[in-house]
Structure 1
Amino acid sequence: MRDILGMMSKAKELQSKMQDMQAEVANIEVEGSSGAGLVKVVMTAKGDLRKLSIDPSLLKPEDVEILEDLITAAHADARAKAERTMAEKMEALTGGLGLPAGLKLPF
């Protein structure tokens, strides 16, 4: 019976920490770039786009496809950084709980 109460207590503690982490993650920003910094994307660790910067040299009608590719690459770079940040935060939060590998907790 004490084990169940202990588990429930840990679950409540984890839930509280998860809520705190969600609020924190909403404010963490990561930057992705492509084309040697000609295109930059700033997004939150939760994936919300905050800023897109495009070097004026890319704003030529004949370069539209290149620009589209650079925006996509910058977003992918920022997304990968956001995912790493989230994984690090989750590891710090759940490190001692012995959760199964690959378990996805809701954010």
Structure 2
Amino acid sequence: MFGDLSGMMSKLKDAQKNIEETKARLNTVLIDGEAGNGLVKVTVTANRTVKNISIDASLTDNEEIEDYLVIALNKALDKANTVNEAELAAAAKDGMPNIPGMDMFK
């Protein structure tokens, strides 16, 4: 029915390995977000881990800092999410066996 079952299992293992390697690589992909014309900057990995936060010394209002920080983090995390999803989908698709009717990664 499915042809070479052991071959498909091997491809699935390769796909899993490819996904794990991609996840590790995404830890090194840095994405920036900023707010307040660069007064607050954040850097996250494509796996959505915060790596750095920079707040300009001219900002002294805590409420303003918090608002800018939320905006900058959301921008960076949105970009990171897009990169993460695209990279993991590509990694999974490249290693998947060709099973008729199972086009999950279009």
Verify same fold: TM over 0.5. Answer: yes
2-structure distance, mates of 1:24, 1:100: 21
Offset of 1:17 from its aligned partner?
0.2
Offset of 1:18 from its aligned partner?
1.0
SS in 1 for 2:68: helix
**5+ long unaligned stretches in structure 1:** 102-107
Match of 1:30 in 2: 31
Q: TM-score, normalised by structure 1?
A: 0.81
2-structure distance, mates of 1:100, 1:93: 10
Summarize deviations over 1:8-64 as a string: whole Å, max 9, x none: 121111011011111101111100111111100001111211110111111x2xx11
**2:67 pairs with 66, 69, 72, which one?**
69
Please tell me the residue identity of whatever aligns with 2:104: L
1-structure distance, mates of 2:93, 2:16: 14
SS in 2 for 1:57: coil
2-structure distance, mates of 1:78, 1:48: 10
Taking only aligned residues, the RMSD between alpha carbons, in angstroms, comes to 1.8
Compare relative contact order (CA 8 Å, sep 6+) and give the higher one, 1 or 2.
Answer: 2
1-structure distance, mates of 2:75, 2:56: 17
2-structure distance, mates of 1:22, 1:94: 11
**5+ long unaligned stretches in structure 2:** 97-102
Offset of 1:94 from its aligned partner?
2.9
Equivalenced residue count is: 98
Q: TM-score, normalised by structure 2?
A: 0.81
